[in-house]
Amino acid sequence: MTALLEPPIGLLAELTHRCPLQCPYCSNPLNLETVRGELTTAQWCDVFRQSGDIGIQQVHLSGGEPASRRDLEALVDGAAKAGLYSNLITSGAGLTQSRLERLAAAGLDHVQLSIQDADAANSDRIAGYAGGFQRKMDVAGHVRALGLPLTVNAPVHRQNLDRLDDIIALAVRLGALRLEVAHVQYYAWALANRAALMPTREQIDRSIEIVASARERLKGVLTIDFVAPDYYAERPKPCMGGWGRGIINVTPSGLALPCHAAQTLPGLVFDNVVERPLAEIWASSPAFQAFRGTDWMREPCRSCDLRTLDFGGCRCQAMALTGDAANTDPACSKSPRHGELAALAESESANPPLPLRYRRM
């Protein structure tokens, strides 16, 4: 490390891995943590206080489904008291009007609601949860009625991309401030379902056009964030804004990870927030140090001008696809493995989709 360490800005708090939905692209690990190991209310509130002290500004209350925690109201209150801007990342399951009222009163700042499709039947099929779509519509209505800002998050893939126009129209109808059109990133459950979810190149190109024209048409009405698909890309994404540069992810049992998929990297040692102060973890936890900055890089990243912009892409993708986390992310056209990626995507997306493997404990 040559540069001075900046303080972290965001906390991704995976409150629980429990979730009644079974999305086949869930970013939770295949080995889901059980309720028994979950941090207590007091332990989370302490993490929030420490977060505020070291410069974290936003907390993303995520999961699993965070509303599966009976103490969600107390956790939102704890985040607010720690001065954090709180974002609830929810599937809508477990949120009633009265619960949302209590969350708003506790100081919740923003709700991000995921949808699986604009088509109710397909949405419920993808989520593996009957009636889920209608619940989401109700939740969106309650969120807006409370005056809370709403982001709709739509993970897109081969089995819903042809309805992207409808998804955008739905977000507008729901009064969302933002829409995230997020091409599925193939880690964890999504990797296990890649052949069923991988879009075709035509679908990708079309999605880029649709988003571009919607952005123009809906200026000031709906902000659309677009998460580009890696497999057909030329440049990788700066995953997490760079390893150990701004974000701390805490798992339900308190492990501090530099990225939610970091547990797929062999040999990394994680600290637990119950055992070590967050400031120390940020400064010197071995997992955070492992790929911080640029010293760990090999060629072609080591001598590349873009290395301080994209930090060599995603470590977990490099691991999953090349077998070594310190390699260049193959999403980059300079990676010697780059050609395989698009070829794989093209061949997988040309086959009839395999049955979905649902996320289950």
Partner 1 sequence: MSADGQKSDGKTAKTAARARLVLTASSAPRLARHVRLKHDAVRQQWILLAPEKILTPSETAVEVLQLCDGVRTVEAIAGELARAYAAPANAILADILPLLQDLADQGHLAR
Q: Is 307 in the site for ligand SF4 (CB under 6 A)?
A: yes
Report how far apart, in Å, the C-alpha atoms of 146 and of each of 111, 181, 315 are: 11, 25, 40
Q: Is 334 in the site for ligand SF4 (CB under 6 A)?
A: yes
Place of tokens 């649902």: 358
Q: Which pair of tokens denotes residue 310?
A: 């994209």
Please give the residues from 256 up to 295 whose contact with ligand SF4 meets the rule CB under 6 A: none
Which range binds ligand SF4 by CB under 6 A, 77-85, 164-172, 242-250, 296-304? 296-304
Q: Is 312 in the site for ligand SF4 (CB under 6 A)?
A: yes
Composition of the chain by helix, strand, coil, percent to 5:
40, 15, 45
Q: Which amino acid is at 205?
A: D
Rounded Cα distance, 230 and 11, in Å: 24
Closest contact distance (angstroms) between CB of 229 and partner 1 is 20
Closest contact distance (angstroms) between CB of 63 and ligand SF4 is 5
**Nearer CB in complex with ligand SF4: 39/214:** 39
Least Cα distance to 195 among 228, 231, 155 occurs for: 231
19, 156, 161, 164: which one binds ligand SF4 (CB under 6 A): 19
Closest contact distance (angstroms) between CB of 129 and ligand SF4 is 8
Rounded Cα distance, 171 and 184, in Å: 19
Contacts with partner 1 by CB under 8 A lie at 7, 9, 54-55, 57-58, 60, 85, 87, 109-110, 112, 131, 134-135, 137-138, 140-141, 144-145, 147-149, 151, 170, 172-178, 219-223
Place of tokens 């209150």: 77
Q: Which pair of tokens denotes residue 99?
A: 């619960």
Alpha-helical (H) ranges within 218-351 are 278-284, 286-290, 307-310, 315-322, 338-350
How many residues are given for the chain?
361
Rounded Cα distance, 92 and 111, in Å: 10
Q: Which pair of tokens denotes residue 320?
A: 């999953």
**Nearer CB in complex with ligand SF4: 15/108:** 15
**Nearer CB in complex with partner 1: 149/300:** 149
Per partner kind, with CB cut-offs from 5 to 8 A, the member of partner 1, ligand SF4, none near residue 21 is ligand SF4
Rounded Cα distance, 145 and 138, in Å: 11
Please give the residues from 186 up to 245 whose contact with ligand SF4 meets the rule CB under 6 A: 235-236
Determine contact, residues 357/189, Cβ cutoff 8 Å.
Answer: yes
Closest contact distance (angstroms) between CB of 178 and partner 1 is 6
Q: Is 255 in the site for ligand SF4 (CB under 6 A)?
A: no
**Nearer CB in complex with partner 1: 34/134:** 134
**Nearer CB in complex with partner 1: 7/323:** 7
Report how far apart, in Å, the C-alpha atoms of 194 and of each of 186, 250, 278, 305, 356 are: 7, 26, 35, 32, 9
Q: Which pair of tokens denotes residue 360?
A: 């289950």
Please give the residues from 63 up to 122 whose contact with ligand SF4 meets the rule CB under 6 A: 63-65, 91, 114
Per partner kind, with CB cut-offs from 5 to 8 A, the member of partner 1, ligand SF4, none near residue 147 is partner 1
Neighbours of 266 (CB within 10 A): 9
Per partner kind, with CB cut-offs from 5 to 8 A, the member of partner 1, ligand SF4, none near residue 307 is ligand SF4
Which range binds ligand SF4 by CB under 6 A, 168-176, 204-212, 263-271, 329-337? 329-337
Spatial neighbors of 106 by CB under 8 A, at least 6 apart, are: 73, 74, 76, 77, 80
Place of tokens 């070590």: 276
Q: Is 16 in the site for ligand SF4 (CB under 6 A)?
A: no
16, 28, 51, 86: which one binds ligand SF4 (CB under 6 A): 28
Least Cα distance to 231 among 143, 320, 115, 361 occurs for: 320
Which range binds ligand SF4 by CB under 6 A, 44-52, 70-78, 247-255, 327-335? 327-335
Give me the residues that bind ligand SF4 (CB under 6 A), please.
19, 21-23, 26, 28, 63-65, 91, 114, 235-236, 300-301, 304, 306-307, 310, 312-313, 328-329, 332, 334, 359
